[in-house]
Structure 1
């Protein structure tokens, strides 16, 4: 069972995380009701989604339903909260996390589809107000979702965001737990840009992982977005405008699978740690797994033991072993990250140049055709294109998608799934 990273929060938040795991347990009766609902809505639901601009054909809809555990189309608290700010209608729930629930909604003035994030005001460790403040700091940045409204409605803190597409963890699973080199480079280049922008606004994310990067919808379908700033922190003191001081013996906060080695040591998070986490994410996409992930099928219910095992294996694994068999640029990426000082700024231009040079070396084309694009669109080769592919000879093998994607490419799928948020990761855990 792949946890998608097994997020570990600070000790005072772990009880909420445990509640989240328990909330995924469903009875046989609930499961039967969910299956009946799926059968009843199989045809009419397709027509309804066409009206809202969301088209999910049968093969992909089956994939999405398999990734979900809970019955989704329920509005909060039995439907009591139907509108937000007298402008946004609250519709079906699409995800839930340890602190928030995410609903799909629509703007009543122009019928645009939006995402609505709800947090109970009685939550012991409320995060949505903190996150809304950071969204205001990041407002206007490329690859950062636009926060349309934040406020309180009844017993909820509410945040309304632009609708986004699927997260990279979900797409990774759709593509058979492996991305091609071309896809990883195109994603990595944009992900560096997103992290650089966050750092330029005086923030460190502190919880980078595949499910916190989403693809856009519509015209922004090729664009990577960065989300979930609930654990983000200012590394530039807003009063003194200086870098925060070095500290150690801090509680672990983040996701153990992608956390930097300094995070495991209890050292204060800085920009270098975000870059190291990004390097692990890219290697995860290439390899399909990481050496410290699920050793011998072991699963640890104790958070401390889980964190210790990740840390021990991560410390014992050299960068050369981790990147063995893959282009040297990925090892150079991680060497740069680990070589940075606490106060030092990463060389983002150098990191981008690594991928740019590799992209040119492999003679890839910047056509924004990702692995899931191959899966979700049928081949439409004209005779001229077919002749061109024959002339390319051996170079075609370099640019071609993995074999498991080539076999799927004959399926016709219109791909625009519902809103995907980091809270969706727990449904992914339970479904695997």
Structure 2
């Protein structure tokens, strides 16, 4: 039987950023195929043109080569070239019934993992082997859970169809949209998504989570005219000054009375030397709200600020959406089922219908919303684990005791929905 903790540790050692999950995805394919699932991957389950924030070709090539060097199956890798690292496992039951999907994210973060002796993965030797990358948000655990669930249902003793979605590039809200555009969940009747951790007590389960914020992430490039900053400054058009003007005005946007709002310019780059008027500048902007329409309005105002900031300084500019998500409204029926099944498992002790912790944004929202649009139902679960450090921290880790509990919960849900 598959050992979910050992599997999690193996994925933890091989963290890969969004759309570079070549090693991870290839292992997922191998395991699903060994369990006799129908496995779809690469361009079969992701719309290549709809992907957001895809790394440069050099980064993709380096990650592909690294996966090969670490033993990834070359034949599988070849079907994922260009960063098409999505995987879907499908298993037909012995009798007809609904299609039930579970989603698991696979990507890591650009963080150098701690080598502090008290950091559990380092002390036990399963810390990151990929320099500068780290599983600092429990996606290693999610992937392991998905595969353990796959094994539990492999005998096909159920009614309907089980669909296991292994998604790349959750961080930044990039992967789910492109999979949704490919139609991956268009045949799904019920979808369950989940997250470990959140610094909740071990044994706490939230049947739904409606706290996620809609978000849009925008990359902007400003183009000006270079000139000598001392001799002929009037001949130049300062791209960095235009970007800075935009930054200040974006952060001056008013908050909205009808909902929660967030704006942030997280990256600002530009210029080449102190004595040259900057010809190029770039920035990355993020807006969020608990209301999708407010998020859209914030983004529209950001576009106006960028346009007029560029005009003020005689610049041209380009914008590109590089990530996003929307809100989630869990279906009460599925929330109730999650909690009923959790109460049957020894180890779960605290049960809540909705989340009382804010966890930012989540692009599983695209999967859930698409299923609901087509008449199905969905929910997003929180499964608690205390944390030694926050999510996205270099000393992040989970209490591994949550992993078998979580797999038991997913199996209970799957068997009930497919009974």
* Fold-level similarity (TM above 0.5): no
Q: Which has the higher strand share?
A: 2
TM-score of the aligned structures, taking structure 2 as reference length = 0.24
User: What is the TM-score with the length of structure 1 in the denominator?
Assistant: 0.23
Bigger fraction of residues in helix: 1
Q: Which has the larger radius of gyration?
A: 2
